[in-house]
Amino acid sequence: MHLYDFEVLRDGAVVAAKRAVGLPDTRAAWPEIVRLAKGVDQPGCKIRVLDESGRIVILTGVATVLRHAAVRAA
């Protein structure tokens, strides 16, 4: 199990975060990313996922996540 930090960014500033989420690997992060994206109501936001060493392992736009989630749900 690895720990990941999830951050919602707006203009480079962290506006929301979920820290120390235990996951088996980065693929398991996507459902949490979708949940975070659905809670964002500001345009232009990004979601950043950091591993235990502080390295960025995922960086994606909220709009992209929501579009992809809608396509998968259809």
pLDDT tens column, 53-72: 999 999 999 999 999 887 77
- Name the nearest CA neighbour of 5 among 57, 46, 44, 41: 57
> Computed from CA positions of residues 43, 66, 60, 15, in that sequence, does the dihedral angle turn out positive or negative?
positive
Supply the pLDDT for residue 74: 67
d(CA 51, CA 14) in angstroms, rounded, equals 16
Phi, psi torsion values for 55, nearest 5 degrees: -80, 140
Answer yes or no: are the C-beta atoms of 46 and 59 closer than 8 Å.
yes
pLDDT tens column, 10-64: 999 999 999 999 999 999 999 999 999 999 988 899 999 999 999 999 999 999 9
Q: What is the pTM of this model?
A: 0.90
